Structure 1
Amino acid sequence: MKQRQNLRAATLLATAALALLGGTFGAGAANAATVSPQVIGGEPAPSTPWEVQLVFQQGGTATFGCTGEQLNASWVITARHCVDGTTAMNVYHSNSTTNRGPATAADRLYSAPAGDIALVHLRTPKSLASYAQLDLGYSPRSSGTGTILGYGNRANSVPTTGLYQATVSLTGSSTDAYRGIAQHVTGVSGASNHGDSGGALVVNGRVVGVCSTGDVADPGANTHAGSNYAVLPQSASWIRSTAGV
């Protein structure tokens, strides 16, 4: 996958005025969509307040989408390739993609020092009923299962109407889009596809990684396809000091 620049912080200007509607949300073009998996198969997820939608521009007028996990009232974690080159971003707190509700503008984006990991700062704090719980001591595993969550296209590029989840097998250590450490997974009840970078991999009730790349460019409807989730511990101290978790 394409490599991008090292640690940086971007300040977004005038994002509050951007609705970021329409465009190519979930499409297979530009940075985020090129390496951003989505859930194929699986099942509708229960209400998950902390699993948020990110809709953004990376230059020009087209819009793109990623998933993020809100950590507290002011911070969201996602994939680094969702913020590299991004010029405006809005965060939506509905689990519905057809009725996203009001937008909360992001005003600062930060790329992690290691791995395909980023933090998004909300211009206006947004209190939620619950926040993502992280496991910052996790190591990639070659056995066991986890749960992936994400928005966007489903099998064969069919748009979803909301948040989906699927069970995956944990199948060893791999590499993410920035040559960082990743957990490789293969689908059990569903798998990853284009359009949902930054979505959570949950093991034992805690988020251990964010979605980075798929093993193939287009898994179509293969619910057993493999993908790679950037594991959070490689930038644990940075996450703690930046987001205060």
Structure 2
Amino acid sequence: MTVIRRVRTAVVSAALVVAVLLTGVSLTASPAYAITGGYPVQADIRGASLVHLQMGTAGCSGVLITPEWVLTARHCIPETTVPGSAIVGPSLLTGPKRGIAEVRRHPSVDLAVVRLSSPVPTPIAGLSGAHQHPGAPATVTGWGGWKSNPYPVAQQADTTIERRIINLPGPFPSMILLEAPIRNGRLLPGDSGGALWVNGQVAGILSMSTSTSTPAQDGTMGWYIPVAEHLDWIAYHTGAPTPRVSGHTSPLVDARQHPPLIPVAQTISLPILHENSSSPLAIGSH
């Protein structure tokens, strides 16, 4: 049976996983193994616009799309108002830090925008207006698992868009998602809200990842909100420059009729996860 859990996710390198504590759920795991560790985020727009969001005890990733607005996942935003902060850039030691002044949630999909307390003088990410299709190569960025690394530097991994799907079990079953198996890294708590990059632009925002009864498969698949299908909402709330939508949407696959084929991870030790690590929604097979 397939279930959905809230688990904010992240790209990480090596160490040992003992247990994952989720909001309201305890998933214990024996020493788990996964894909080869992620690599430090590239020193280009992917790193410059990456944002580490901290709201209460939960941490997430995001991407700077104007000097003061961050695009992230809606489930990263606490239901009640809590103090929050954001650090922009690939390093928590050197990146500019801002408070969080305002959040706006999408009414029907797992997207949100966060306004910073003041503008950040750094390059901003461009949004992709291209409808994505199976076979498109991409990279993913995020802050998940950063506490396990010797230096607080964000991570990056590779992927290829596999399908455009609907009816993935969870709190947003009618939500359309881009399905992407993760290579050269994996997703863990903290990556939620991180960007899917295609041709140097933000094509998706991480909403869900795998959490299964086979630990080697955890974080090996990610599901992303397609940015091109929500440009009007993003632009209306942030004033972000939006490109012209190009191409046509790829065929929509019903995940109930054609369930995801979760890839098997390569063996490498994972970091210990902490209860206050941020998490995206996680889909698990049990």
Give the TM-score taking structure 2 as reference length: 0.64
Q: Which residue of 2 aligns with 1:133?
A: 126
2:68–2:115 CA contact under 8 A, matched in 1: yes
**Aligned mates of 1:66, 1:93 — CA distance in 2:** 12
Q: Which residue of 2 aligns with 1:189?
A: 184
**Aligned mates of 1:121, 1:64 — CA distance in 2:** 17
**Aligned mates of 1:236, 1:88 — CA distance in 2:** 28
Deviations 1:106-151, CA, capped at 9 Å, x for gaps: 11101113421110011222221x1111113424x22132100011
- After TM superposition, the structure 1 = structure 2 runs for residues 14-163 of structure 1, keeping only pairs within 5 Å, are 28-30=21-23, 41-47=37-43, 48-57=47-56, 63-85=57-79, 86-97=81-92, 99=93, 103-128=97-122, 130-139=123-132, 141-153=133-145, 158-159=148-149, 161-163=152-154
**Aligned mates of 1:79, 1:224 — CA distance in 2:** 17
**Residue identity in the other structure for 1:148:** V
- Indicate whether 1:208 and 2:189 are aligned: no
Q: 4+ runs of 1 displaced by more than 6 Å? A: none
2:211–2:217 CA contact under 8 A, matched in 1: no
- Residue 173 of structure 1 aligns to a residue whose secondary structure is strand
Q: Which residue of 2 aligns with 1:12?
A: none
**Aligned mates of 2:98, 2:128 — CA distance in 1:** 26
**Aligned mates of 1:183, 1:72 — CA distance in 2:** 24
Unaligned runs of 5+ in 1: 4-26, 58-62
Distance 1:40 1:82, change over 3 A: farther
1:114–1:234 CA contact under 8 A, matched in 2: no
Instruction: For CA contacts below 8 A with separation 6 or more, give which structure has more relative contact order.
Output: 2
Q: 2:163 aligns with which of 159, 163, 172?
A: 172
% of aligned pairs identical? Answer: 26
2:67–2:121 CA contact under 8 A, matched in 1: yes
**Aligned mates of 2:194, 2:86 — CA distance in 1:** 14
**Aligned mates of 2:163, 2:194 — CA distance in 1:** 19
Q: CA deviation at 1:217?
A: 4.6
Q: Which residue of 1 aligns with 2:11?
A: none
Deviations 1:81-108, CA, capped at 9 Å, x for gaps: 01141522211124224x2655311111
Deviations 1:14-68, CA, capped at 9 Å, x for gaps: xxxxxxxxxxxxx74339xx9xxxx9722111232210110111xxxxx111011
Q: CA deviation at 1:192?
A: 1.7
**Residue identity in the other structure for 1:238:** W
Give the TM-score taking structure 1 as reference length: 0.73
Aligned residues: CA RMSD: 2.9
Distance 1:164 1:55, change over 3 A: same
Q: Which residue of 2 aligns with 1:239?
A: 234
Distance 1:90 1:218, change over 3 A: farther
- Residue 152 of structure 1 aligns to a residue whose secondary structure is coil
Larger radius of gyration, structure 1 or 2? 2
How many residue pairs get matched? 206
Q: CA deviation at 1:219?
A: 7.4
2:210–2:219 CA contact under 8 A, matched in 1: no
Deviations 1:131-176, CA, capped at 9 Å, x for gaps: 111113424x22132100011317xx94573111111121101357
Distance 1:103 1:221, change over 3 A: farther
2:209–2:219 CA contact under 8 A, matched in 1: no
**Aligned mates of 1:78, 1:218 — CA distance in 2:** 28
